[in-house]
Homo-oligomer: A and B are copies of this chain.
């Protein structure tokens, strides 16, 4: 889990995914020689800070978002949210501005909910702050900030090792409503003619989706993907005896939203391990669910 630990420590709030992109690029360049198939690596002009890995003759694409939630310094000591982080007085936030490294403390006003930081000096306006990473591993669980979605990225990298045909797309801006999947999806569709997509992301432990009971396959969140596609995925998971749980929610969203609302007839499905303490520094995922997540992606990229 050393790779996952390093991913969780990278600074890449929405809109500033460049450190994740560069890390992943180096990682792929360093490790692809041991992979079953060496992918075409696509990045740079026309792709902003995104990264695509294209293996063989793809039929399906995995989307895994690189960006994280966080905070941005507004005026004076004020903070505004990047995406929807949990806020609790005392959380340690880290970042960097023109005067150097920052390690400060989040403070939430009890009355009006306004957010500020405690620090010995004023921080530059517009500076991004993210949760300080405290990576904790037990025999059964992983706990850290940003398992959402460094774990989705990590899982995609495990799948990449043996992937023969498929695309792995690392995008940004997911936590703030999107901005890259639409053009990545267009490129992928136009180049390879494919319309099948899997969203490799982390979901919530709820009364119906429990830690340790398998990877979640989402029949719906605020959006509803085509039922026949999701039913096919569930059938494949059943036949392969991969531990899984069917998720049915009426809120939340993912990169699937950009696919659903695009001008390409995507069949898509959200598949990911559930986590507890969502969007906090203490996101907690069960290792069995991580294992099932990698297994189902390997299966689906082969079978779909």
Residues of B within 8 A of A227 (CB): 15-16, 128
Residue among B48, B220, B226, B262 making CB contact with A72, cutoff 8 Å:
B220
Residues of B within 8 A of A75 (CB): 206-208, 248
Residues of B within 8 A of A125 (CB): 208, 219, 246, 248
A14 interface contact, C-beta 8 A: yes
Interface string of A1-22 (1 = CB under 8 A from B): 0000000000000111010000
Q: How large is the interface on A (under 10, 10 to 19, 20 to 34, 35 or more residues)?
A: 35 or more
Whether B183 and A250, one on each chain, are in contact in the complex, defined by CB atoms closer than 8 angstroms, is no
Residue among B48, B82, B178, B261 making CB contact with A182, cutoff 8 Å:
B261
CA distance A72 to B267 in the complex (A): 20
Q: What residue of chain B has the Cβ atom nearest to residue A81's Cβ?
A: B250
Nearest CB in chain B: distance from A41 CB, A: 17
Whether A262 and B260, one on each chain, are in contact in the complex, defined by CB atoms closer than 8 angstroms, is no
Nearest CB in chain B: distance from A95 CB, A: 12
A224 interface contact, C-beta 8 A: yes
Residues of B within 8 A of A119 (CB): none
Whether A224 and B176, one on each chain, are in contact in the complex, defined by CB atoms closer than 8 angstroms, is yes
CA distance A278 to B126 in the complex (A): 23
Nearest CB in chain B: distance from A35 CB, A: 27
Whether A185 and B49, one on each chain, are in contact in the complex, defined by CB atoms closer than 8 angstroms, is no
Whether B15 and A220, one on each chain, are in contact in the complex, defined by CB atoms closer than 8 angstroms, is yes
Residues of B within 8 A of A48 (CB): 226, 265, 267
If over half of A's interface residues share one DSSP class (helix, strand or loop), that class is named, otherwise mixed; here it is loop
Interface string of A251-281 (1 = CB under 8 A from B): 0000000101111110100000000000000
CA distance A82 to B261 in the complex (A): 17
A195 interface contact, C-beta 8 A: yes
Known contacts A208-B75, A248-B75, A249-B80; is-contact A263 B185 (Cβ 8 Å): yes
Interface centre among A73, A126, A176, A249 (most CB of B within 10 A): A126
Whether B179 and A261, one on each chain, are in contact in the complex, defined by CB atoms closer than 8 angstroms, is yes
Whether B208 and A74, one on each chain, are in contact in the complex, defined by CB atoms closer than 8 angstroms, is yes
A contact set with B: CB distance below 8 Å: 14-16, 18, 46-49, 72-76, 80-82, 125-126, 128, 173, 176-180, 182-183, 185-186, 195, 206-208, 219-220, 223-228, 246, 248-250, 258, 260-265, 267
